[in-house]
Amino acid sequence: MRRLVLAALSVLLVACQSNPSRPAGGGTRGRLEPVPFERVKLEDSFWKPKVETNRRVTVEACLAKCEETGRIANFARCGGLEPGPHQGLLFNDSDVYKVIEGAAYTLATTPDKALEARLDTLIDKIAAAQQPDGYLNTYYTMVEPAQRWKNIAHGHELYCAGHLVEAAVAYEAATGKRKLLDVALRLVDHIDATFGPGKKLDPPGHEELELALVKLWRRTQDPRHLALARFFVDQRGSAQGRERFGDYAQDHLPIREQREIVGHAVRAMYLYSGVADVAGITGDAELWSALDAIWHDVVDTKMYVTGGIGSSASNEGITHSFDLPNETAYCETCAQIGMALWNQRMFLATGEGRFADIVELELFNGFLSGVSASGDRFFYANPLASAGDRARVPWFDCSCCPSNVVRFLPAIGERIYAHRGDELFVSQYVGSDAVIPLAGQNVRVSQRTEYPFDGVVRMQLDPEQEAEFELRLRVPQWCDGKFEVAVAGEEDAGSTALVDGFFCVRRRWKQGDSLVLRMEMPPRRVYADPRVEANRGRVAIQRGPVVYCAEGVDNSGGALALVLPKSADLAVIPTAARGEPVRIAADAQVLVERRFDAVRTEPRHATLVPYYSWGNRGTSDMVTWFPESAELARAPGGPSAQVGEILVRASHAWPSDSLAAVIDGVSPKASNDHDIPRHTFWSHRGTNEWLVQEFRLPKPVSSSSVYWFDDTGRGGCRVPKSWRISCRVNGEWKPVQLASGETCATNVDTWCTVKFVRVLAEAVRLEVELQPEMSAGVLEWKLE
C-alpha cells in the first residue's frame, strides 16, 4: 500500500495484493443490512435494460405460460371457482408463486395498475384454494388428498409453501395488500401445528421453506416463524424418530457434521441459504463451521469457471470432487441462482469479499446464460461446450428455471450495497443511485460505470451532514490486486486499509465528495486444477468478471476445432456502441483435418464472446475451455477416435459415451448392458446418423455385425428403424451389394449380421435411421 498526491487535488491509493480470507463466523462486528432494491435506482447500460426486459417480456411470458399450462387454473379448480381436473406436475404451484414474487419486485419499482389487478385476481384464486385448516397445495387437495404430508421426501408440499411465503412477503411490501400474506400466514400456522417437537419430525425434502420462514420472521417478528426455521435446520440429517432421506436431499448427516456438498444441487443451495440465515441470527458457531467447510468444498473442488455447480444430469447435482465435464455439464439455472442467494447471505453475515466475488461470478456468467437476450427463452442446463444441438426454449414441463429468473433479475439492486454501523459496503459495481441509512442519517450514493466491460467506477457520496464513516469497496479476486482509488478534492484521503477483500477508506465525508476506482481488465488465461481431467491441456479466457467462449457462428471451421496456443495473442475488440458486449480477438489455429496420427491446422483469427451470450444467434457449436494443442481439438465432420490402425468417426456422439467402444472387442451380455462402454447418438432422436471405420490402408470386407444398445424401460435408446452399409472406394461412397437372402436386422440381445459382396474399402459406413422420437446406440461393431 502506498499513497501518492496528485496535483494536490486527489490521493491515489494503490493496493498491491489481496487480503487472505478468514473463516466465516458471522462477522466481527455483526450482520450487514442490505439496501432494499426498491431504494436503488439502476442507471447503467448493462443491468437496467435486462431488468426492463424482465418487466416487459419475461413476467408476461411466464404468466402466459402459467395460464396456458393450467397452473393458474389449478387454483381456481381447487377452490371450486371452475370445473376441471388438476393439470401438470405436483410442484407446479411453486411456479405461480415465483412469478408473483418477480412481478411484485417489478411493481415495487415500476407501478403498473393493469399488472397489479391481474395479480389480485390470481391471488383471489389462490385464496379460494386454501383449505379450512390452512393447508394449501392444489395437487394433493385434488389428486391425492389422502397423501397429505405422507411423502415429505419427494412431495414438494413444503417447497411450494416456501415459495408462497416469499411471494406473499414481496407482494405485501410492493403493494401494501395483505391478502396473500394472510394466506401464507394461515398455511405457516398449519405447518407449525403439524411439524415440530412431539409432532412430525421431518425437514423439507426439497429445501426452501427454511429461508422463506426467516424472511417471514423479518417481516412479522413472530418468534414462532424463526423457531420453525431453526427446527427444520436442526432436523436436517437427524435420525431420531424418523427415517432420513439420504444424501440426495442432504439428509445423510446432521447439518452440523456435514463438510461437503452432496446430492441435488438446487436443494443444497436453498438449504445452505436457510442455514446461513439461521446461523447469522443465532450466531451458531457449529453451523458456521459446517457452512465454511462446505463452501470451500464447493468453490475449491466442484464449481465450474462460470460459477456453475451440479455437473450431473442423472441426479441434477453433485458427483465427486473435480468431476467437471464440459459438454455434459448440467449446471441447472436454478442452482446458479441458488449459489448467488447463498453467497449473498454469507456476505451479509460476514462482510467478506470472497462471498460477493461468487455472487458476481454468477451474475455475469452462470446465471445470465440461463435466459435469452430477448427475455422469453431459457436454458435449464448450462453446458460449457456444445456440438450445436442446444437451444433455449420458451418453457419446460418442469419450469422452475424460467420462474426463478423472473424473481431473481428484478431484485438485482439489493445485491449492490450494504451497511453496518458506520460502514458502507459497495459489493457489486452497477451504475445506480441509492439512499442508504448510515450512522444516523441518509447518505445518497451515485455510482456510474460501464462495468463489467470497463474497470472504471466513479462514485459520489452526499451525506445529509458532514460526518465520518467508512466506505468499503470490494476488490474482486480477478483483478489480482491491480487497482487504484483516487479520492478527489482533498489532499488527505483519510485512513485506508484492505480488509476481507474490501478496500476501506475512513474519513469525514461531505456532500459532493467523489472518488474513482480503476481496475485493470486485460484478457487473461485461466487454468483448471490439474485434477479436472476434462480441462487438462485446456485454457479458459476471462476479462474482468466475464468468462468468454467461442461460437461457430463467429468462427468458420467451428468453435470446437479452435486451438489457442500458449503464444496466442489476445486483444479487446472495441465496441461500436455503449452497452454492447466487449469481444476478444485471438490469434488462434483451427484443426482442419485429423487422419490417424497426423493433424493439419491453419492459422485463424478467432472471435470470443461472453459466455452468458452464447446461443442468442441460432444454434452452432460452442467451446469455453480451449485446447492449447491440436490433439485435443475436434476435427470438422463429427467426433472421432483412433484405435490402432482404425479411425472411428460419427455424425454425433453423446459426450459421456465412447466412440472407441464400438471396436474395443468387448462382447456385450445383452443390448441393455450398462457395464461396458458404449456409443450412442443421444440426444438426437428420430434422425439419420452414421458411424465410420476408416482404415490406414484399404482392407477387404464382406460382412458387418452390429450389437445394438437398447435401454427400454430405462432410457430413450432403441434399436434403429433401419440401417445399411456403404463403403468408400477411391474416395467415393457406395452402398454394398447384399448377398442373396441377406437383410439388415434390428434385433435385441444378439448380433445383427449382414453379408455382402467383398469390397476393398478405404472406409466402411454404418448408416442408421432412428425410430421416431428415439435415439440409438452401438455396443460393438465388427467387420469381417
List helix spans (H) across 176-283: 179-194, 209-220, 223-235, 265-282
List Cα–Cα distances, 604 to 209, 526, 590, 609, in angstroms.
Answer: 52, 21, 6, 16
Q: Count how many Cα atoms sit within 13 Å of the Cα of residue 36 in the half-sphere of its side chain.
A: 9
Q: What is the DSSP letter of 739?
A: P
Neighbours of 489 (CB within 10 A): 13
From the candidates 210, 316, 360, 414, give the one annotated as an active-site residue. 316
Question: Positive or negative CA dihedral for 697, 701, 705, 709?
Answer: positive
- Give the three cell numbers for residue 304: 465450474
Helices (H) and strands (E) in the chain, counts: 15, 32
Q: How many whole angstroms from its chain centre is CA 247?
A: 21
Single-letter amino acid code for the residue at 93: D
- Name the pairing type of β-strands 598-610 and 546-551: antiparallel
- Is 160 annotated in the active site? no
Q: Which helix (H) or strand (E) holds 4?
A: strand 2-6
Crossing angle for the helix pair 179-194 and 157-175, to the nearest 10 degrees = 150
Give the burial string for 534-556 (b: 16+ CB within 10 Å, else e).
Answer: bbeebbbbbbbbbbbbbbbbebe
**Burial of residue 3, with CB atoms counted within 10 A of its CB: 0-12 exposed, 13-18 middle, 19 or more buried:** exposed
CA nearest 687: which of 328, 389, 393, 386?
389
Question: Positive or negative CA dihedral for 260, 362, 347, 277?
Answer: negative
- Give the three cell numbers for residue 581: 458486449
The answer to whether residues 336 and 367 touch, using CB atoms and an 8 Å cutoff, is: yes
- Is 401 annotated in the active site? no
Q: How many whole angstroms from its chain centre is CA 185?
A: 32
Give the DSSP per-residue string, 89-118.
-TTTHHHHHHHHHHHHHHHHHS--HHHHHH
From the candidates 160, 400, 401, 549, give the one annotated as an active-site residue. 400
The answer to whether residues 640 and 648 touch, using CB atoms and an 8 Å cutoff, is: yes
Cis-peptide, bond into residue 565, ω within 30° of zero: no
Angle at alpha carbon of residue 499, lines to 494 and 500, rounded to 5° = 155
The answer to whether residues 138 and 89 touch, using CB atoms and an 8 Å cutoff, is: no
CA nearest 163: which of 191, 184, 179?
184
The answer to whether residues 292 and 261 touch, using CB atoms and an 8 Å cutoff, is: no
Catalytic residues: 316, 400
